[in-house]
Amino acid sequence: MTAVSTLRSLFENKIFLCTILSMAIAQVLKLFFYLINNKNKKKLDAIETVIWRTGGMPSSHSALVCSLATATGIQEGISSTYFIISLLFALVVLRDSVGVRRASGLQARAINNLGKQLSKVTGQDFHSVKEIHGHTPLEVLVGSCLGILIAVIFFII
């Protein structure tokens, strides 16, 4: 099998296509939500923010893994090993995005605020830590529903 035929078979795979489509649609929606909520910011800043930062409405990670699990369940059956693996993978990603990543982002924000306050008092330089933005439960729920919906529609068409 040549590299071209292998690549072609990948882009003929319904599970791959609807999963990537779900992520892409979520990212585009995230851009629109960002522009609506941040009308005073430059559009180029909005595009950069959506591409490079984590978090935001809807969760593209949630859309991707829920689309993957749904599409796998439709194509392979819900009793298949592939579906079970994709479902468990989705649950880990969903839990991580709303739990661990969100908590670490809130902790980083608190550390940065404390560091800035201490820097003012002591005169010492403070270097901020990176704030990783996780998702709110609503962002994860909307992303999950979007991924499931896109997979169902993709397999109906």
Phi, psi of 90 (to 5 degrees): -60, -45
Assess if residue 125 is contained within a domain: no
User: Residue-wise pLDDT tens for the chain (157 aa)?
Assistant: 687 888 888 888 999 999 999 999 998 888 888 778 777 666 666 666 666 666 778 999 999 999 999 999 999 999 999 999 999 999 999 988 887 767 777 788 888 888 888 888 888 888 887 776 677 889 999 999 999 999 999 998 8
Q: How far from 75 is each of 139, 151, 156, CA to CA, in Å?
A: 27, 10, 11
**Does any domain span residue 20?**
yes
**Residue 77 forms part of a structural domain:** yes
Q: Which domain holds residue 76?
A: 3-99+134-156
Look at residue 47 and tell me if it is in a domain.
yes
Q: What is the pTM of this model?
A: 0.79
